[in-house]
Amino acid sequence: MIPDLQLSTLWAASPANLVLPVVLPLLAAFLMQPLARVAVPLARLLGPLVLLLSAAITLNLWLQLGATPFSLTIGGFASPLGILFHADGVAFLFALAVPVFALLFWPGTASGGGDDRDQGARRDALTLLLVAATTGLALSGDLFNLYVFYELAAVASFGLVALSDTGRAQIATFRYLMVSAFGSVLILVGIAIVYLQTGTLSLAQIALLAPETLHNPIGLAAFALMLIGFGVKAELFPVNTWVPEVYAGAPARVAALLAGLVSKLAVLIIIRLLVLAFPQPEMAQIMLVLGLLGILTGELAAWRAKDFPRMLAFSSIGQLGLIFIAFSLGGELGLLAGLALALHHLVIKSALFGLAVRWRGSIEALAGAARSSPLAGALFVLFALSLVGIPPLPGFWAKLLVLIGLAETGGALALTVLLLILLATAVEASYLFRIAIRLYQDVPTPVAPHGRRDLGAAALLGCVLLAATLGMQPVADRLGDLAEQLNDRTRYIETVFPLHLAVKD
Amino acid sequence: MIGFNLESIALIGALGLIVIGALGMVATNHLMRMLLALVIAEAGGNLLIVLVGYRVGGVAPILGVGEPGAAMVDPIPQVLVLTAIVIGVGVQALAVALLLRIHRAYGTLDLRALRDRMDAEVAAAAGVAPDASQEAPLGARPLPPVPVGVTHGAGRTGPLPALERRA
């Protein structure tokens, strides 16, 4: 029987609508090519429309149902047999961020021409595919489904990078593909070990069985494998060699999506695994050490970088290292610090790559750029100040939380990490301010100003940052709630298996 | 139980394939061989998943096959492995397509040469002096010659030139 399909069903506060933000972009991605053959203007509109629609649906669901976490079993097969979507505050937050950021960095309209039209349709389709996959990553509550969405996101990002037709982008994509595919093998081995130990792939059931089955050296091995595997997209230390070449070779908008969104979703998977299945100090220790190596190598390489996109790429590695350090602290404080840093980085790095649309060149060549486009210069200074952590800006509070967490942990390792973070911050300040000074130099022929659309996204994100600065207390409270929810393993299990309430106690 | 049974031999084999693949990926400079090493590693990973669900003497998990109540192999890992194989093949096909484009653009698949070219191009596109080559031991080493009739580099907007036959 065909259900009564009406547009109003999209707005109904029904958990079933949770699949729409994944399904709609996926559907649109595959409709894109045929549609572009028939009606180009319609195809150009399809992407933004679908993104707006899925953002609206997600927001609507969050407002109406988001008060308590809930789960949706797909096809009516109850977990653990079926596959499920799990929606809590953090999942909603990221599921909403995905279409919004994709919309902000939506590739511009290609001008006419047969080849260009195909190229544009392909790019739109791949972006929508990336959106569908990353939204799935935020919502999925099943380990293997996470793997599938992760691979889908990977393939979409390979395509987006390789679409820029230069040879160097192809080489960069190939090397990215190799690292990523080997990471997938490691994820598969990790999944195999988890399945061997627990006999299930549902995250909730894994969480339920983890204390007896995964809190041992075998579980540690599984976590390490999955950490490295998912870490490829999260720019984790040993598997981030692809980052500078890809971000330098890809269009700046694609780099903004990869550095901003995709890396955060990969981090989110790792954190879910850490909280639900592997909450032991050894696991956090691995993350702490890898995060530390990430921040040190990233910031030092960024200091040495001579061109703007690669500088952003290396600094992104450093920032993600700090995010891993924050999450490795564990507990609500660690999760709060990690979430704050992740959102902060999502906003700032995307915006900086938005500025890099025009500032592709070397740092030398940026001399006087702030004079030709004052707004871009001002935005760069704002973002730089927040990245370094100058007091009233959100970056300061996020960094402070990490430092407090490290100081509270105590011990030689934590204090060393604390000192090294301060050192890395000094390095970060040195290279960011070097650029800021160069931007305001007086030169006869500065670089061309930004287009209105390029600057629009960055300016909007700058406003978000300022708004967060003014409303620090409410933002911190909301994030605190989200961190508490993220940290609540029992609640996750009970959301998926209401019956286990009785069994457990 | 001492000694090797079928399961442990297969398990060692699967892990061995992954190790061989990993070593192969880092040991070679030829991109095609690197891809083949990846294929081997993926095969190892897939084999490992199948082994997780394997039961010695188990029958296929189909109703009506074998004695009622007989041990059955776990079907879930087999389903997963189908997905993993399909994804793996898709990614490999994409990799081959990329290799073809790289070969068309540069006429070589040697990683050292390509990395130098890429670094030089990224630096040229950014308008900065390139870093010293990672492979050059001392002083400057010339880049491999550019194939005749092939232009490469930043700012090209047209389609890639057709694949040329080389001796």
What value does the mean pLDDT take over residues B155-160? 44
Contact A495, A204 (CB under 8 A): yes
Residue type for position B80: L
* CATH assignment at residue B99: 1.10.287.3510
Task: Please give the C-alpha separations between residue A476 and each of A51, A59, A426, B161, in angstroms, as whole numbers.
Answer: 28, 20, 26, 55
pTM for the model: 0.87
- Does residue B87 lie in a domain region? yes
Q: Does B121 touch chain A (CB under 8 A)?
A: yes
- Does residue B1 lie in a domain region? no
Contact: A245, B157; criterion CB under 8 Å: no
Is the per-residue pLDDT at B151 higher than 50?
no
Q: In total, how many domains does chain B have?
A: 1
**Tokens 């709060």 correspond to what residue?**
A336
Contact: A167, B105; criterion CB under 8 Å: yes
pLDDT band of residue B152 (cuts 50, 70, 90) is very low
Chain A residues touching B51 at Cβ < 8 A: 192
CB neighbour list of residue B137: distance below 8 Å, 6 or more residues apart = none
**Tokens 């199948």 correspond to what residue?**
B50
Contact: B117, A168; criterion CB under 8 Å: yes
Chain A residues touching B48 at Cβ < 8 A: 188-189, 192
Rounded to whole angstroms, how far apart are CA atoms B161 and B101? 9
pLDDT attached to residue A505: 41
Contact: B101, A162; criterion CB under 8 Å: yes
pLDDT attached to residue A448: 66
- Does residue B111 lie in a domain region? yes
Residue type for position A48: P
Chain A residues touching B18 at Cβ < 8 A: 185, 189
pLDDT attached to residue A4: 57
- For residue B114, the chain A residue with the least C-alpha distance is A171
Helix (H, G, I), strand (E, B) or coil at A70: strand
Q: What is the pLDDT of residues B99-112, one digit of tens each?
A: 998 888 888 888 88
Contact: B126, A362; criterion CB under 8 Å: yes
Is the per-residue pLDDT at B95 higher than 90?
yes
- Does residue B163 lie in a domain region? no
DSSP 8-state assignment for residue A142: B
- Distance between start and end Cα atoms, chain B: 58
CB neighbour list of residue A45: distance below 8 Å, 6 or more residues apart = none
CB neighbour list of residue A94: distance below 8 Å, 6 or more residues apart = A134, A137, A138, A264, A265, A268
Residue B30 bridge partners (DSSP): B110
Q: How far is A359 from chain B (nearest CA, A)?
A: 9
DSSP 8-state assignment for residue B155: T
The two three-digit tokens of residue A334, written as one number: 């660690």
Is the per-residue pLDDT at B133 higher than 90?
no
What value does the mean pLDDT take over residues B66-74? 75
Contact: A189, B156; criterion CB under 8 Å: no
Interface test with A, best of B72, B91, B109, B143 (most A CBs within 10 A): B91
The two three-digit tokens of residue A182, written as one number: 């080997």
Interface test with A, best of B36, B39, B54, B80 (most A CBs within 10 A): B80
Contact: B49, A188; criterion CB under 8 Å: yes
- From A464, A480, A478, select the one nearest A348 (Cα to Cα): A464
pLDDT attached to residue A3: 53
Q: In this complex, which of A144, A155, A307 lies closest to B126 when CB atoms are compared?
A: A307
Is the per-residue pLDDT at B3 higher than 70?
no
Q: In this structure, what are the phi and psi dihedrals at residue B101, rounded to the nearest 5 degrees?
A: -65, -40
Q: How far is B143 from chain A (nearest CA, A)?
A: 15
- Does residue B155 lie in a domain region? no
pLDDT attached to residue A1: 41
pLDDT attached to residue A108: 63
Q: In this structure, what are the phi and psi dihedrals at residue A347, rounded to the nearest 5 degrees?
A: -70, -50
Helix (H, G, I), strand (E, B) or coil at A202: strand
- From A179, A146, A144, select the one nearest A161 (Cα to Cα): A179
Contact A314, A286 (CB under 8 A): no
Q: How many CB pairs under 8 A join A and B?
A: 145
pLDDT attached to residue B155: 40
- Is the peptide bond preceding residue A80 cis, with omega within 30 degrees of 0? yes
Domain ranges of chain A: 16-141, 142-504
Instruction: Report mean pLDDT in 10-residue bins for chain A, 505 residues.
Output: 59 79 90 83 84 89 81 76 83 90 75 57 88 92 89 91 82 90 92 88 85 85 91 87 85 86 91 87 87 90 85 90 89 87 90 82 76 82 87 85 86 86 89 85 69 76 84 84 82 76 46
Residue B92: give the domain boundaries.
10-55+72-126
